[in-house]
Structure 1
Amino acid sequence: MTYDLNDKVVLITGAAGGIGAATARQLYALGANLVLTDMQQSAVDKLAQEFSPSRVLPVALDVTDAAATKAIIQTTIQRFGRLDVAFANAGISWRSGASTIASCDEAEFEKIVEVDLFGVWRTIRAALPEIIRNQGQVLVTSSAYAFLNGLANAPYAASKAAVEMLTRSLRAELAHTGATATVVYPGWTATAIAKVAFGGNATVTKMNEVGLPGWLRRAIPPEQVALALVKGVQDRRPRIYAPWRWVPFSLFRGIFGVLTDVVLSRHKEMHALIQQLEAESQR
């Protein structure tokens, strides 16, 4: 049966822009009440202006703060009486450019993992009692990086692969409760995080062009991801891909991974670009 989003209460982390904001608009159009969270109160306040005040709660939240995340769940219950869907979407990548494992700033590497992996874990953990009580849904933004080599973006890629397994494990553990969990796999999406590979950094952009064929690296708008995501929520799908061209790579990831690792180990032009990127990172 289709999951009716009308009057459901949905929490979105990383809601102020990109996939989060686009999804909020789609959910609102289907009658959902929204709890919008992001790092800056001004950012979620701006998005909330698009919606009726009676159906939206904008709150600043750092998802690495477990106590604050749990407090948001209680605030949600106080305001709307329940929580039905938690969308753990908040994520970050390199602040400027990109780096290899050997040349990156260690603190920044760990910060990315803290937000993209442990921030998701803390969101899930805080929301889970309500999700189970209401036989609701948890959605987690993973990435095509769950099955694509993450060179020059290792902390982000590693975190996205990790939250994929976290969500798959959760779905199995929830099966007897009536609640569900879904992995969302966006491909290249026109957001601030992806900008570095699309002209934001010349070296990374060249690596993207050299490493992937044109048809595979085309960025899609966040609205396309949001449409797929909402349809997936309505159907309680275990996996949501956007765009669909990434599905074969996920299904055949074992073979794909072996082949791409071999190619990258022998790709002289990519090797030169990695060395160039490391030199830039150390300036």
Structure 2
Amino acid sequence: MKDHSGQVVLITGAAGGIGAAVATALHRRGASVVLVDTESSDLDSVARKLGSERVLVARADVTVREQLDSAVAATIATFGRLDVVHANAGISSGATAATVRSAEDGIFEKVIGVNLMGVWNTVRAALPHIVDSGGYVLLTSSTYAYLNGLANAPYAASKAAVEQLGRALRLELAGTGATAGVLYPGWIATPIVEVAFGGDDIATALVAKGFPTPLRRPISPDKLARGVVRGIERRAPRIQVPGRWIPMSLLRGVINPVYDAILERDTEVQRLTAQLDARRL
């Protein structure tokens, strides 16, 4: 991979998982990294692992635009420029699965607030400097941008919206020297996927029912980060990791209607969904 010396990269959700792995991979290749996460996160431990050189910690809640403005201002004051922003902060729909009918009041608004409005706030705060540097914006979406969001509708809806934001942004930046891309992680071995792999029996059963075995193998955040770094180097419009999801992404217009029709008629899926509904009713 290329040497990223001289580049300045701001990453939200950098205290763990995907954000910490991408920050580590880029820092090893010479980039200066700005680690952004909330006050309650374990951000300092990530910074200590990277060392004091070329690292800036910026505490910010991505749902509060002013805090992101401050994080970007600190980046410019410290490093003098901003070349890449990775709007990565995100949360799941909860520790247990739920349907639209059984979900707790407020969970949709909370997920949209972080996963979508947080991305919007990050982009808006950073974009003037990205345009000035001819840089790159990367938005973390998900395979759930194009998969059925059964039992995970708030998360899926937020990630589908992030995909559309990234696609629009890339076209809007055409001709400016800056550009944007969308990251589509599959199952990544982070706490956010635990609900689907043993954390919730019904969610685990639905995932086993809905996805073939090869698509159910989580990969490590470090493996994902290597794909992200390659995508940043190419200023890619789409980064899909792992690559085994690419056929489903490319053929979504054909696969999705067929897949939805099959699952809609599946009595086991109906039974499991009814159990989720019964949790609140």
Aligned to 2:264: 265
Deviations 1:78-113 (A, max 9, x none): 111111110000000123201111111121111101
**1:84 is the counterpart of 2:116:** no
Superposed displacement of residue 166, structure 1: 0.5
Deviations 1:142-161 (A, max 9, x none): 11111110111111101111
Count of residues in Structure 1 that have an aligned counterpart in Structure 2 = 281
Aligned to 2:181: 182
Distance 1:18 1:52 in 2: 18
Deviating 4+ runs (over 4 angstroms): none
Distance 1:264 1:60 in 2: 43
Distance 2:59 2:223 in 1: 26
Distance 1:173 1:106 in 2: 36
Q: How does 1:122-137 map to 2 (within 5 A)?
A: 122-137=121-136
Aligned to 1:229: 228
Q: How does 1:25-44 map to 2 (within 5 A)?
A: 25-40=24-39, 43-44=42-43
Do the aligned partners of 2:2 and 2:29 also contact (CA within 8 Å) in 1?
Answer: no
Do the aligned partners of 2:97 and 2:202 also contact (CA within 8 Å) in 1?
Answer: no
Aligned to 2:18: 19
Aligned to 2:158: 159
Q: How does 1:107-256 map to 2 (within 5 A)?
A: 107-256=106-255
Superposed displacement of residue 257, structure 1: 1.0
Superposed displacement of residue 196, structure 1: 0.4
Aligned to 1:52: 51
Deviations 1:207-251 (A, max 9, x none): 111111111111111111100000011111111110111111111
Describe the SS at the equivalent of 1:49. helix
What runs of 5+ residues in structure 2 fail to find an aligned partner?
A: none
Distance 1:58 1:165 in 2: 30
Letter in 2 for 1:153: N
Deviations 1:169-190 (A, max 9, x none): 1011111011110110111111
Residues 239 and 180 of structure 1, relative CA distance in 2, 3 Å threshold:
same
**1:70 is the counterpart of 2:69:** yes
Superposed displacement of residue 278, structure 1: 2.0
Distance 1:40 1:177 in 2: 35
Letter in 1 for 2:36: T
Distance 2:47 2:200 in 1: 32
Distance 2:237 2:2 in 1: 14
Describe the SS at the equivalent of 2:49. coil
Describe the SS at the equivalent of 1:190. coil
Describe the SS at the equivalent of 2:149. coil
Residues 42 and 149 of structure 1, relative CA distance in 2, 3 Å threshold:
closer
Describe the SS at the equivalent of 2:106. helix
Identity of paired residues, percent? 51
| Larger mean Cα displacement after TM superposition, 260-269 or 40-49 | 40-49
Do the aligned partners of 1:63 and 1:90 also contact (CA within 8 Å) in 2?
Answer: yes
What TM-score does the superposition give when structure 1 sets the normalisation length?
A: 0.96
Residues 41 and 272 of structure 1, relative CA distance in 2, 3 Å threshold:
closer
What TM-score does the superposition give when structure 2 sets the normalisation length?
A: 0.97
Letter in 2 for 1:112: V
